[in-house]
A and B are shown apart, each in its own frame.
Chain A
Amino acid sequence: MITQNVTRTSAVRLDSVTKVYGRGASAVRALDGVSVAIPTGSFTAVMGPSGSGKSTFLHCAAGLDRVTSGTASIGDTDLSDMNETQLTRLRRQRVGFVFQSFNLVPALSVRHNIGLPLRLAGRRPDRHAIAAILDRVGLAGKADAHPAELSGGQQQRVAIARALITAPDVVFGDEPTGALDTVTAKEILGLLRTCVDESGQTVVMVTHDPVAASHADTVLFLADGTIVDEMAAPTADRVADRMTHLGAWA
């Protein structure tokens, strides 16, 4: 089963992860004993109905939130014992993020938004590296634009460029196409796919859109805080079908 996939080459690994919010009677068990290993160089989609714990999954796997029990690791690094500053350092060196919206700092130009993780790490971003990465995401020449001057799709491309600039172990996407029209969404998913295929980048994406999920190598299905199924080589129809029956499954 899923637990047997655990290998030394996994980019992200969760072992019996439990996450509980709140205390006492009002406690919510958002993740309940989740174990999963995501191999390096793969494109994984995480799906599930609202409240299934897919956002919590992302937070715990990416080091945005601490687990209640179990262990989460990125590469060989265990995140459980890290404090807030250590987690931040880990995120800025080894994790990239693409959120649904509000990915960019409005006050900064594209160039500075992309260079932000490097700058905060105390490094000076290389102009050529930024130009190259902008070229890669199809925004060559937009380095000095401000976020407000860009379309939604272009903003997501900048976010992807920023996620890639540090050459991270893994890029996490939280509904990265959720706020886009279908044509633009397809372009963005294609871009993520290319990153996996051409550069061996690991991508983990939370989504509720079967079409988006169909671009992944593997789809994980979450319901009520546990992983209930896994699908390889997904198509939109099969994913939609599985989602429809997910309620009954649980």
Chain B
Amino acid sequence: MLRYALATLRARKSGFAGAFLALFCAAALVTACGSLLETGLRGDIRTERYAAAPVVVTADQNVHHTTQKGDKTKHKAKPVYERVWLPADTADRIAAVPGAASVVPELTFPAEPLDAAGQPWDGPEAQGHAWSSASLTPFTIGEGRAPETDAEIVLDRGLADRAGLAVGDEVTVQSTDAPATYTVAGVAEGDVTEQAAVFFTDTEARRLAGHPGQDAMIGVVPAPGTSTAELADRIEDALDGTIARVHTGGDRGPAEFPDAAQARIQLVSMGGAIGGTGLLVAVLVVVGTFGLTARARHRELALLRAIAATPRQTRRLIGREALLVGVVAGPLGAIAGLPLAGWIFDRFIGLGTVPETLGQVRSPFPMAAAVLTTLLAAWLAARVSARRTARIRPAEALTEAAVEPRRTPVARLIAGFLTLAGGLVLLYVLSLLHVEPASTPVTYLTVLLLSVAVALLGPVLARVAFTVIGAPLRLSAVPGHLAAHNARAGARRLAAVITPLTLLVAMACTIVFTQTTLGDAAERQARDGVLADRVIAAAGPGVPHAAAEALRGTEGVTTVTEIVHSTVRTPGLDKYSVQGVTAGPGLDSTLDLDMTEGSLDGLADDGVAVSTVIADSKDLHPGDTLDLVLGDGTPVTTTVTGVYDRELGFGELTLSHDLLAAHIDNPLADALLLDTDLPDDRLGAALADFPGLAVRDGGHIADVMAQQRETSAEVAFLGMGLVLAFTTIAAVNTLAMATADRRREFGLLRKVGTTRRQVLRMLNLEALTVAVTAVLLGTAISFAVLTSFSAGMIGEAAPAMALTPYLLIVGTVTALTLVSTGIPARLSLPRRGPA
């Protein structure tokens, strides 16, 4: 049997090329995604800033939650989104630990040098530190000297070179306070690539860092004779019962870069989603190509059945062929997946989704997993397509032509309707999901399930579609007439072709339009919600509070609303995006959150306004209390003042600016909203002391939002783009296979006097019918999915399907269909004389 399977594979290379290609791509995709997943799970985060401190002490960056279920206690921890600072006495307690040679407290705060136009230089974000903690990296003076007065700074070499600054130059630095001018006293050498460093004197750094008495982290160097592990243990004992956590070795990286830890989680979920979707697509496609191959060798299989093979033996034969294809395609694809993994990872770094300090894990595990899953997919696909061949009646070997079975098997119809029902259930579930991480995977799963339903119900759908679409064709001359009849008669063959095309259209539309649906809604809300006449935006890290104060003191400016953003959790670990706005009587003249209940009055006294989604799910009304854990781990109890609708444009919670700004790493405002009738030049004059601030109109907030949305859309496109590329390859190869299989039919048509041109035109019309059907089905699927998605995410069934990208998708799919039908047809049709 194995010999027979091998011989068949050798002889029918082209027939199996389709399955090979699909499995090869699937293996590559799974390897790449597996690599992302593995990096997410156990990728090393390199420490930079704390490389010279063997023991690093930071505050616990997690919120903890314990639930009691029966007699089982479940403990969960989730990271917060700003830095949690260490308690004030921590450094003293560590200093008292025997064996701690030097204890170096570290302050970290945003400090961005600005050029003459008020713009920060390109490169990584700059952080401010006290010069006394320079030894943690270590940074050593390369030129000049350490800062001696509060008006002096030391820049790291990379930053100084990028900015073209030398010792003695003056530069404006935008830190947490009003921008100020400093003299560059020295340039320090240190091995960092992920960050830029600006060193101040201890007193200046302390002033800019806020958090009086507290430290961001503390580096400890063991005394000679004390091992790092020993010292770490002792410090842990000394700090037992506090929020301080001790890190050594590879653990220091995640402590230095909490963002990288977040990126790891994202990698895990993206790797899983892309890989899983890709694998499902692979099974769907390979079932199709195996089905086509089986169709092409229908007579051979019937012959086998007639002379000697039991149904079980034919099934086993097909299964073995599939496994053989998988055995070759799997490892090759897995090898091809390695550079693919590297490329995706680089792109993610380029887009800022993954920080460079996260090292990509290279191990054989993803490849092994890819080979295994590919074999599994091949086997599964073979089992499904072998069901069909088992029904071949041996007597068919004796009949001359392979006849299309007229009726679709009942089992297939039942399976089809069940899948359709499953898809409908998922559509309903999707309309109940309000957060993106939950709803995105369900979106793709729904598309896939509905596409599987199309695959199963394909022959029926195809017959109906071709009857309708074919009506005008039948009226036309020879080619149209032939095409219409062919399409109807070959419904099952064409159904195999329609499935991947439908999937392609549905996937592409869903990927593109979930982004635009969300983006459009958010942008619309931001545009409608900003009532301010003018918006002050910053080129640097933000708008300082002093600038807001300066405008408040300017005559003609009625209201200045500062806006900051962050992410908070509840003690139950729910995560919410939050904005902080200056509370006060003028707020309703700059901001309209579309209140459905209550108002924004009372925000100043630990008030909170919540979105309708949260209000509904938590049953909150004005006057209720809501416990929150702010970004830096500080718990607060807030009182609900109102409920609003525009959460996509402004965040799920709204707090007062003063409360939120005190608990985030960068307290500078993202923007100021002004209620004013002053002309721009008067406003500009009021802001003369603040470089890099620009006066914009009210739409600026929405524009910024659209830009940010574009970046996150790009990340989604990059991931799902791979699945799309894969689906495209699959669709093209299925089409080419289906056309190449019809050599005999074309020969017959030519023999009975159809011209080559007529045959090709017939094929074009047929391909067009197929494309139109696939576009209709795919559009219907994505429209349904997007409607549910938008109902869940933005609260109204408003899918935003922009015309230009839609036409682009439809055009591409149609062109692909025509080309991948036309080329193999041309190749199999001899130019001269009938075949």
Residues of A within 8 A of B (CB): 55, 58-59, 64-65, 84-85, 88-89, 91-92, 97, 99-100, 102-103, 105-108, 112, 116-117, 119-121, 162, 174
Contacts and interface: CB of A to CB of B under 8 A. Distances in A.
Given A55-B398, A112-B4, A117-B308, 13 more contacts: A59-B398, A88-B309, A91-B394, A97-B307, A102-B299, A102-B397, A105-B300, A105-B303, A105-B304, A107-B11, A112-B7, A116-B4, A120-B1
Nearest to A104: B303
23 contacts: A64-B394, A64-B398, A84-B311, A85-B310, A88-B305, A88-B308, A88-B309, A91-B306, A91-B307, A92-B307, A97-B307, A99-B398, A102-B303, A102-B397, A105-B300, A105-B304, A107-B12, A108-B4, A116-B304, A116-B307, A119-B4, A120-B304, A120-B309
Nearest to A118: B308
| Minimum-distance CB pairs A-B, first 10 | A107-B11, A92-B308, A120-B308, A117-B308, A64-B395, A88-B310, A107-B7, A85-B310, A107-B8, A59-B395
B3 interface: yes
A112 B11 CA distance: 14
A102 B303 CA distance: 8
Say whether chain B's binding surface is mostly helix, strand, loop, or mixed: helix
B347 interface: no
B313 interface: yes
Given A55-B398, A106-B300, A64 B306 contact: yes
Given A88-B305, A119-B4, A107 B394 contact: no
Interface of B: 1, 3-4, 7-8, 10-12, 299-300, 303-313, 393-395, 397-400
A106 B7 CA distance: 9
A41 B308 CA distance: 23
A92 B394 CA distance: 12
Contacts of A59: 395, 398
A108 B297 CA distance: 14
Nearest to B5: A107
B508 to A, nearest CB: 38
A162 B306 CA distance: 13
Contact of A58 (B3, B10, B398): B398
Contacts of B303: 99, 102-103, 105
A65 B395 contact: yes
Contacts of A108: 4, 7
Contacts of B399: 55
A116 B12 CA distance: 18
A65 B310 contact: no
A84 B304 CA distance: 13
**Residue of B8, B304, B308 with highest tally of chain A CB at under 10 A:** B308
Contacts of B12: 107
Nearest to A88: B310
A120 B313 contact: yes
Given A55-B398, A64-B394, A106 B11 contact: yes
Nearest to B7: A107
Contacts of A106: 11, 300
Q: Which of B10, B300, B306, B397 has the most CB of A within 10 A?
A: B306
B308 A107 contact: no
A177 to B, nearest CB: 15
A56 to B, nearest CB: 9
A47 B789 CA distance: 68
A105 B310 CA distance: 16
A130 to B, nearest CB: 15
Contacts of A117: 307-308
Contacts of B8: 105, 107
A84 B312 CA distance: 10
Contacts of B300: 102, 105-106
A162 B307 contact: yes
B304 to A, nearest CB: 7
A213 B4 CA distance: 36
B395 A97 contact: no
Contact of A99 (B10, B309, B397): B397
B398 A85 contact: no
B390 to A, nearest CB: 9
A85 B307 contact: no
* Interface-centre pick from B3, B4, B299, B312 (highest chain A CB count, 10 A): B4
A55 B394 CA distance: 13
A61 to B, nearest CB: 12
Contacts of A88: 305, 308-311, 394
Given A55-B398, A58-B398, A162-B307, A85 B312 contact: yes
A126 B641 CA distance: 92
Contacts of A64: 306, 393-395, 398
Contacts of A89: 310
Nearest to A92: B308
A112 B4 CA distance: 9
A82 to B, nearest CB: 12
A150 B313 CA distance: 28
B834 to A, nearest CB: 19
A116 to B, nearest CB: 6
Given A88-B305, A102-B303, A112-B3, A107 B10 contact: yes
